[in-house]
Amino acid sequence: MAATSITGIKGFNDILPGEVEKWQWVESVARRIFSSFGFQEIRVPILEKTELFARGIGEATDIVEKEMYTFEDRNGQLVTMRPEATASVVRAFIEHGLHVRPTMRKLYTIGPMFRHERPQKGRYRQFHQINVEAFGIEDPLIDAEVIYALLTFLGELRIADLQVHLNSLGCPLCRAPFRARLAEYLAGVSHLLCDDCKRRRVTNPLRVMDCKVPSCRDVLAGAPKMLDFLCDDCREHFQRVQDYLKDLQVAFTLDPYMVRGLDYYVKTAFEVLARHLGAQNAVGGGGRYDGLMKAIGGPDLPGVGFAIGMERLIMLLGEGVGEGTPMRLCFLACLGEEARRRGFRLVQELRRSQVLAEMDYEGASLKAQMRKADRLGVTHVVILGEDELARGKAILRWMETKAQEEIPLEGIRERLTALLRKPDGEA
Ligand code: ATP
Ligand code: MG
């Protein structure tokens, strides 16, 4: 009886060859662009103590309340597969005392995140983010700079039709009276809210503003706006962010109802939306999180950053973008054991010289080997037969023109390397 096949877990995706090239390209562009903006890579673990996210993201957020992959490990320690990266990067920053090293204030990281959400187009349970964070800088110049870095990156990927939404969430000082006013407003319209928001209205009224249920969105259209409550300091900070963005010719839309899904944001919040993505239209978002480092037990340093969702980015790439140019490949068709051994050695040597080479491992006929070479789309085939081998020769065949030529085995590696590395492929 055949064993039943084991499938992957819902919301967890494989990335296959053919698609993975786009990921590699996006990652390489990210590394190039973000390092040119002065960000250095940091790699943090996937598993962290649950407490880190509870404190860092906020207890009364959707992520912490219902989306985290949390479990007890074999020692009874409560651990969580990271739902986002900022809390981990901040934890690492504190743990390694990076604040005393002024060269390490700007960091980026790339990797998988885990949230137990309902899988659908653009929304998965394991997804990937590129995170960019800048610590220790209060000045609104850095807010403008991270937004500019994000847009430069997206521009480099040739993604068009993007919109930048910008808001200020104020600081704990000016947010308290806003929150009270919002709670008051929501109490009056409670009967119109979805069940989640009926609860959120009490536990964390700001979260209602993040609700995607249309009826809740309608209710919010009449809600008080944070922008009307900003204290002088927050108002000036926000004005300067806008001025600097204008200096950089960044177009943005003020969105007074955008709050972002995490509790730690203060002052600047932003999102980049793509029209072509449908319901899951946010490509990335971020903002300032000045109190986070202190809340996690570190020095009281400000921070600003963003996260980009890679799956949604890849969906937005234009036709052919990031697919790379096909590599030139040659195939060694070998006949007889001695030729196979000589060919096997040559294949490994070619690969060490960065030439893609393949051969047949199944002892197929010459005809079958040529068919295989054809299917692989190789530009050149080297035929090694017993006769040729005895004379110290091989046959080189150009697949496109079907021309062939006898060449000496001596120096064949150099000959093939030169041939296959040349952009036009012709000797
Ligand atoms: P959304 O509003 O779409 O739920 P979010 O505000 O929860 O997004 P963030 O936590 O800000 O998202 O994460 C930044 C980016 O990561 C998002 O803009 C999106 O591109 C991507 N992202 C978030 N959740 C998922 C997911 N479940 N699957 C795929 N991508 C995601
Ligand atoms: Mg979300």
Q: What percentage of the chain exceeds 70 in pLDDT?
A: 97
Average pLDDT, the chain: 92
**Atom nearest to 84 CA in ligand 1:** 10
Ligand nearest to the CA of 125: 1
Indicate if ligand 1 lies below 6 Å from the C-beta of 283. yes
Q: How far is the CA of 83 from the centre of ligand 1 (A)?
A: 10
**Mean of pLDDT values over 11-38:** 96
**Residue ID of nearest Cα to ligand 1 atom 20:** 309
Q: For the sheet containing 78-81, what is the strand order?
A: 47-49, 78-81, 69-72
Of 68, 108, 127, the one to substitute when testing ligand 1's pocket (max ligand atoms within 8 A of C-beta) is 127
**Residue ID of nearest Cα to ligand 1 atom 8:** 282
Q: Which two tokens stand for residue 289?
A: 């999180």
Q: How far is the CA of 260 from the centre of ligand 2 (A)?
A: 9
Q: Where are the alpha helices (DSSP H) in 40-139?
A: 50-57, 62, 86-95
**Residue ID of nearest Cα to ligand 1 atom 11:** 285
Q: DSSP characters for 314-379?
A: HHHPPTTTT--PPPPEEEEEE-SHHHHHHHHHHHHHHHHTT-EEEE-SS---HHHHHHHHHHHT-S
Looking at residue 426, its pLDDT comes to 41
Tens-place pLDDT, residues 364-386: 999 999 999 999 999 999 999 99
Tens-place pLDDT, residues 85-109: 999 999 999 999 998 887 779 999 9
What whole-number distance in Å separates Cα of residue 332 and Cα of residue 358?
6
- Quick one: CA dihedral 13, 19, 24, 25, positive or negative? negative
Bridge partners of residue 25, in order along the sequence: none
**pLDDT band for position 325 (cuts 50, 70, 90):** low
Select the more confidently predicted residue: 57 or 34.
34
CA distances from 193 to 67, 213, 214, 215 (A): 21, 9, 10, 7
Q: What percentage of the chain exceeds 90 in pLDDT?
A: 77
**Atom nearest to 284 CA in ligand 1:** 18
Indicate if ligand 1 lies below 6 Å from the C-beta of 117. yes
Q: How far is the CA of 392 from the centre of ligand 1 (A)?
A: 61
Residues sharing a CB contact under 8 Å with residue 83, sequence separation 6 or more, in sequence order: 53, 57, 63, 67, 68, 69, 113, 114, 115
Looking at residue 275, its pLDDT comes to 83
Indicate if ligand 1 lies below 6 Å from the C-beta of 282. yes
Q: How far is the CA of 63 from the centre of ligand 2 (A)?
A: 7
Q: How far is the CA of 88 from the centre of ligand 2 (A)?
A: 18
**Mean of pLDDT values over 391-411:** 94
Tens-place pLDDT, residues 217-251: 888 888 999 999 999 999 999 999 999 999 999 99
What whole-number distance in Å separates Cα of residue 70 and Cα of residue 59?
14
Looking at residue 102, its pLDDT comes to 75
**Residue ID of nearest Cα to ligand 1 atom 29:** 123
Q: How far is the CA of 219 from the centre of ligand 1 (A)?
A: 24
Ligand nearest to the CA of 127: 1
Indicate if ligand 1 lies below 6 Å from the C-beta of 312. yes
Q: List, in order of start, the domains of the chain with CATH numbers.
A: 20-171+231-316 (3.30.930.10), 330-420 (3.40.50.800)
Q: Is the pLDDT reported for residue 327 higher than 90? A: no
Looking at residue 31, its pLDDT comes to 98
Lowest-pLDDT choice from 59-68, 158-167, 281-290: 59-68
